[in-house]
Structure 1
Amino acid sequence: MTKQLSVLWIACLLLPGLRLHADDSVGPYIGTVKTTEAYLLYRPGNEPSQLRLTVMDEQGAKVSAVDVQSKAEHDFVAKFHVVGLTPDTTYQYQVEKLESGGASLVAGGDSSFHFTTVPTERGGQVFKVAFLSCVNDSTDPVWQEMSKHNLDLLCFGGDTPYADTGNLADLRNKHRHLLQRPELATLCKSVPLVGTWDDHDFGKNNGNGKSAAGLKENTRRAFVEYRAQAQYGHGDEGIYQKADGGALEVFLLDARWFSQTEPSPADPNQSTCFGKEQWQWLLNSLRRSEAPFKVLLQGQIWQDKKNSETDDMHTYYAERDALLDFIKHEGISGVVLVGGDIHVSRYLVHPQRVGYDLHDFIISPGHTSVIPTLNVYHQDLEWSRVKPNQFLTMTADTTRAVPVLTVKYLDKDGQENFTKTITYDQLTATPDTGILQDLRAYWSFDGDTKNRSKLGSRLDGELIGGATVNSNEGVRGGALHLSRSLGQHLSVSRSMLDDNAPSYTVSSWIRPASLPDHGSQDRCFILESNVTNHCNLPKASNSGYAISVGLRACTDADKINLQLYTETLVPQPAGSQRSPSSKPQGGFDCLLERSLFSDWTHVAVTFDSEHLQLYINGELGNVYALPITGPIAELGGLVIGGHRAGEGRNFDGLIDEVAIWNRVLSASEIAAIYDRGTAQDLLDN
């Protein structure tokens, strides 16, 4: 009998599916900690108990005590809310069981059980938070590694745990099992833990508020029982909240509960992700936040995951872009994004998206299962890693004259796989006015092919096929000289527009040496956007021509067709539970006299998601209504003097002063560019 029991105990230790806690206790765990209050939880086991949490100063003197009854209706999890504490102070704590007029210690009572309240001052602080998503028993080495990093906060980003059920008993068992992992329990007896959910802990893979409606009540109930947080959404809906550490504030967003349940507050023709109450809470909280650094964390990613599922912010692009536009227009500094879900870690930079570069971190998985097929192309991707057992740390340092945010991708072995240091100045907008507003790319071709916008060398052009830049043949200074017969063009390898931008303007001067012959099928392109796939990853678009301006012959021998195309998203109606698709649109024709192009001609095109407008020599030529309205589809580069494949259909002659804005220029602005002969004169003024 004794031998059989020993074998069973060894099995419990070795098999990850079996509990290690014979008494089914959990914790204690620290949750939300504020300047003068703290939240903790403890589960004594499968029986009701009268419990007392005692908080002591570092000398062991009692500061406060809270008595709580653990009850069956909450799966015997006791929650403690301690108030009246002093900011920026470290406290020890212990949990006792009260019975028969006495008290017996059940947890804590030594210096390893402690927490520190948040300081009132935001300057002069160093605050370090870790993020991870997608965890199971194979995450144990990560918890062990985290304990070496002096964390001030741990944020769960969803799939923590994998529940995949709406059965309350099963949900409770899975939450309990995760919190009973010894290394995690050891870590979080002194590191506060807060979190949000993703699809698996919401109840089902790819689940949203509509498809998983029947599971929501129980998944939320179990989540609330096993987290010690100051807020769980509003009323009995959602779980969104924030954790303010002084130097850094984390907004833990709920992208599941409200998704697909109503029209979006940003666009009533599309489904919401966050719901109107959470939406307003988020906008108000961002506006009021005094933290230098602000992290927007959600379980899903902020872009298109490019599979058959719809749980990403590409599905809700109207709401995503309205949020980012709000940050930009309100001048809110210090914002970065964090997502998870996809079992791949990635880092993206969305240039000047919110008035400054928007840094976007994806951290997944915390366990050992990776999904290489979700490491897909994105125009703003800078780095990715398809490896197991990963986590992310962010350290906000406000002791410096200019605060600094240091972000590290780490793994279970403590290996620093990627590090990014960002100063507060780099996360603060420097608004431009006039013609400089939202100027994303500008090539003057005055001696080189450098980009002279804020995006800098990212958009420097590469001369292809022996193309040259002449020094004195342009509208102003030099010009790009191209030979059609040699297939010459200029290639720009990265995107200059926002992901799914709702508007743009393109301005250029052209002086063709030849035009497509009358009666031929020849075409030549002034410029066309494309997808260069700079990161050499799968699922990149093979089109990408949101911008397309070209010339072709027409039936009239004296005229030439200046033809426009674009490629846009096709929005899905509210409640569809589908992701947007994409649609090429055009060509849109404008017949012009061939003689017009015997000298320099100014060509400008604007796009506003509903129309294309063509300006010739400063005057509006045509307005084209789009059959399907929507923002641009994926792109990722530009060909000047050729179509998206580069070779073939190339321009013959001179191109100069190419500029692209991430907005619609007014008719007067376009006329001013034409009257001055160049955008540079306006930029200089």
Structure 2
Amino acid sequence: MKQFHIYVAVLVLFSACKKKAEKTVEVEEQSTPDFVVAFGSCNMSQEPNYFWDDILAEKPDVWIWGGDIVYADTDDVDRLRSIYAMQDTVAGYAKLRNEVPVIGTWDDHDFGVNDGGSDFAIKAESQQVFLDFMDVPQDSGRRTQEGVYASHDYEVPAGKVKVIVLDTRYFRSELIDDTDSKKRYKPTTDSTATVLGAAQWQWLEKELNGSDADFNLIMSSIQVLSGEHGFETWGNFPLEVKKLENIIVQSGAKGVILLSGDRHISEFSRAEVEGLSYPLVDFTSSGLTHSYSSFSGEPNQHRVGEVVSDKSYGIINLNIEEKKAEFKIMGDNGTVLQELKQSY
């Protein structure tokens, strides 16, 4: 009888173990992205940037400067050049530049004047200093055109990615001070007012119309969709916003995504655009070395999630075959501060 009880106990134990072994835990499989974009803005070369090693760890296919690469705010060309040179001495950035293609645009502080536009006296000279920093060859067409705008095409086994960097400084019309409220600027309905200028608009339309890329990323430097806060934004030129949306729709370009910086905060904005089969996302990533840590709120009808007021950078994982994009606001040591996923 004792042996029988032992046999039953062993049988029950074996049966329980077998049932336990048959249980499986389903883990969501993370697909490897076909193309990885890293970008950021608002970077003081004299301040520590703790993100360069984290950015490299993401194995990006490209790094995009979103503007305010340095804080110069000067009309002295030699001083401007020396401040850019200081950024080149930053060890972490030098390592990134040696391993990853670097492209990008400027904003006001590396352009040379806060909130500056078309009336900046040394904009032509500043452009050449910027192009020197970006290692643009002397025989490049960008050396003779007005403005630093450019397009870059990348091809991987899964498909193609186009990155368009805009110049929202060289041609931008004067901003209108808002004396009626506590906001800094107010929108203008002047049909002659512009963000990009005639030549750049024609160029952008041609780039999008002729694009066969699976994803088309547009770096604006200033925000496009968040237009209610009264600081610098495309929202100060609502007719230009509509023009941009129309060009995107009419071009038929696939997977258009907007990138921006400038604000010292990071956030996702998303809007439905008539005629576009997917929502238009504006991913703002700012800033790298300093941020609006005392941020207490501002209106943005297109915001998705919450504003991140910590220092951060942006990562975009593109899955070309599945037509999906994963947007991530990143903190130090690979911390994901917020993320958004979008299908196209």
**Shared fold per TM-score greater than 0.5:** yes
Equivalent residues in 2 for 1:371-450, closer than 5 Å: 372-373=294-295, 375-398=297-320, 400=321, 402-423=322-343, 427=344
**Structure 1 counterpart SS, 2:245:** helix
* Aligned counterpart, 2:287: 365
Which residue number corresponds to residue 113 of structure 2? 204
Counterpart-to-counterpart distance in 2, 1:331 and 1:356: 12
2:219 alignment counterpart: 297
- In structure 1, the residue matched to 2:87 is 178
Q: Name the CA distance, whole Å, in 2 between partners of 1:288 and 1:241.
A: 14
Corresponding position: 1:126 with 2:56: no
The answer to whether the Cα contact below 8 Å between 1:343 and 1:386 also exists between their aligned partners in 2 is no
SS in 1 for 2:59: coil
Q: Which residue of 2 aligns with 1:645?
A: none
- CA drift of 1:403 comes to 2.7
Partner of 2:173: 260
SS in 2 for 1:147: helix
CA contact (8 A) 1:408 1:417 kept: yes
Deviations, residues 94-134 of structure 1 (Å, cap 9, x unaligned): xxxxxxxxxxxxxxxxxxxxxxxxxxxxxx98111101000
- Letter of the 2:169 partner, please give it: R
Residue aligned with 2:337, SS: strand
Q: 8 Å contact 1:164–1:204 — kept in the other structure?
A: yes
Structure 2: distance between partners of 1:294 and 1:139: 32
Residue 316 of structure 1, CA deviation = 1.8
Distance between the aligned counterparts of 2:196 and 2:209, measured in 1?
17
- Asked if the contact 2:172–2:195 (Cα under 8 Å) also holds between the matched residues in 1, the reply is yes
| Contact 1:132/1:155 (<8 A) preserved | yes
Match of 2:229 in 1: 306
Q: Distance in 1 between matches of 2:108 and 2:190?
A: 24
Relative distance call for 1:164 and 1:389 in structure 2 (3 A) is same
Match of 2:241 in 1: 320
> What's the CA shift for 1:345?
0.5
Check whether the contact 1:331–1:355 (CA below 8 A) recurs between aligned residues.
no
Letter in 2 for 1:422: Q
Deviation at 1:371, TM superposition (A): 5.5
CA drift of 1:233 comes to 4.5
CA RMSD after TM alignment: 2.2
Residue identity in the other structure for 2:51? V
Residue 299 of structure 2: SS of its match in structure 1?
A: coil
Q: Secondary structure at the match of 2:127?
A: helix
- Give the 3-state SS of the residue equivalent to 2:49 in structure 1: helix
State the distance in 2 between where 1:318 and 1:234 align: 30
Take 1:139 and 1:196, find their aligned partners in 2: how far apart are those partners?
21
For residue 10 of structure 2, what is the aligned residue in structure 1? none
Deviation at 1:242?
1.3
- Which residue among 175, 179, 188 is the counterpart of 2:97? 188
C-alpha distance in 2, partners of 1:296/1:259?
17
Q: How far, CA to CA, are the matches of 2:80 and 2:209 in structure 1?
A: 36
The 3 A distance-change label for structure 1 pair 170 and 232 is farther
Shift of 1:232: 6.5
Aligned: 1:284 with 2:192: no
- Matched residue, 1:340: 261
Shift of 1:259: 0.8
Query: Sequence identity, in percent?
Result: 26
Q: How many residues align structurally?
A: 290
Residue type of the alignment partner of 2:305: W
- How far does the alpha carbon of each residue in 1:638-667 deviate from its partner, in whole angstroms, 9 at most, with x for none? xxxxxxxxxxxxxxxxxxxxxxxxxxxxxx
Secondary structure of the corresponding residue to residue 171 of structure 1: helix
Partner residue, 2:182: none
Residue 235 of structure 2 aligns to a residue whose secondary structure is coil
Please state how far the C-alpha of 1:205 moved relative to its aligned partner.
0.8
2 CA distance for matches of 1:250 and 1:413?
A: 27
Partner in structure 1 of residue 13 of structure 2: none
Unaligned runs of 5+ in 2: 1-31, 175-188
Separation in structure 2 between the aligned mates of residue 368 and residue 282 of structure 1, nearest angstrom: 31
Aligned to 2:161: 248
Which residue identity lines up with residue 332 of structure 1 in the other structure? A
TM-score (norm 1): 0.40
SS of equivalent residue, structure 2 residue 246: helix
Distance (whole Å) between structure 2 residues aligned to residue 362 and residue 257 of structure 1: 21
Alignment gaps of 5+ in structure 1: 1-123, 262-266, 428-685
Q: What secondary structure, in the 3-state scheme, does the structure 2 residue paired with 1:245 have?
A: strand
* Deviations 1:555-576, CA, capped at 9 Å, x for gaps: xxxxxxxxxxxxxxxxxxxxxx
1:349 and 1:139 map into 2 onto residues whose CA distance is 32
Tell me the distance in 1 between the aligned counterparts of 2:235 and 2:191. 15
Q: Is the 8 A contact 1:129 1:395 kept in 2?
A: yes
Within 1, Cα distance between the matches of 2:128 and 2:293? 30
Whether the 8 Å contact between 2:173 and 2:194 is mirrored in structure 1 is: yes
Amino acid of the structure 1 residue aligned with 2:78: A
Equivalent in 109, 130, 139 of residue 223 of structure 1: 130
- 2-structure distance, mates of 1:371, 1:208: 27
The structure-2 alpha-carbon separation of the partners of 1:288 and 1:370, relative to structure 1 and needing over 3 Å to count, comes to same
Distance (Å, rounded) in 2 between the aligned partners of 1:374 and 1:275? 34
Indicate if the aligned counterparts of 2:295 and 2:309 stay in contact, CA closer than 8 A: no
Gap change, CA 1:329 and 1:218, over 3 Å in 2: closer
Q: What is the DSSP-based 3-state SS (H/G/I as helix, E as strand, rest coil) of the residue aligned with 2:328?
A: strand
Where is the helix percentage greater, Structure 1 or Structure 2? 2
Question: Which letter maps to 1:410?
Answer: M
Distance change >3 Å, CA 352–CA 312, structure 1 → 2: closer
> Secondary structure of 1:250's match?
strand
- In the TM superposition, what is the alpha-carbon distance from 1:397 to its structure 2 partner? 2.2
Select 2:278's aligned residue among 356, 364, 367: 356
Q: How far 1:375 sits from its partner (Å)? A: 4.5
Deviations 1:277-299 (A, max 9, x none): 11011001001111111111111
Deviation at 1:352, TM superposition (A): 3.9
CA contact 1:133–1:157 (8 Å) conserved in 2 = yes
Where relative contact order (Cα < 8 A, 6+ residues apart) is larger, the structure is: 2
Please give the per-residue CA displacement for 1:201-239, whole angstroms capped at 9, x wherever unaligned: 1111111112x2x12122112101111247675724100
SS state at 2:99 partner: coil
**Structure 2 counterpart of 1:222, which letter?**
V
Conservation of the 8 A alpha-carbon contact between 1:164 and 1:205:
yes
Shift of 1:151: 1.1
Q: Which of 140, 145, 148 in structure 1 is aligned with 2:54?
A: 145
CA contact (8 A) 2:131 2:143 kept: no
**Does the aligned pair in 2 maintain the 1:375–1:386 contact within 8 Å?**
no
**1:264-319 CA deviation, whole Å, 9 max, x = no partner?**
xxx97331110111101100100111111111111111132623x4x310122211
Classify 1:371/1:229 alpha carbon distance in 2 versus 1 (closer, same or farther; 3 Å).
farther
Q: Match of 1:162?
A: 71
1:299/1:348 CA distance change after superposition, 3 Å:
same
Kept after mapping to 2: 8 A contact 1:233/1:278? no
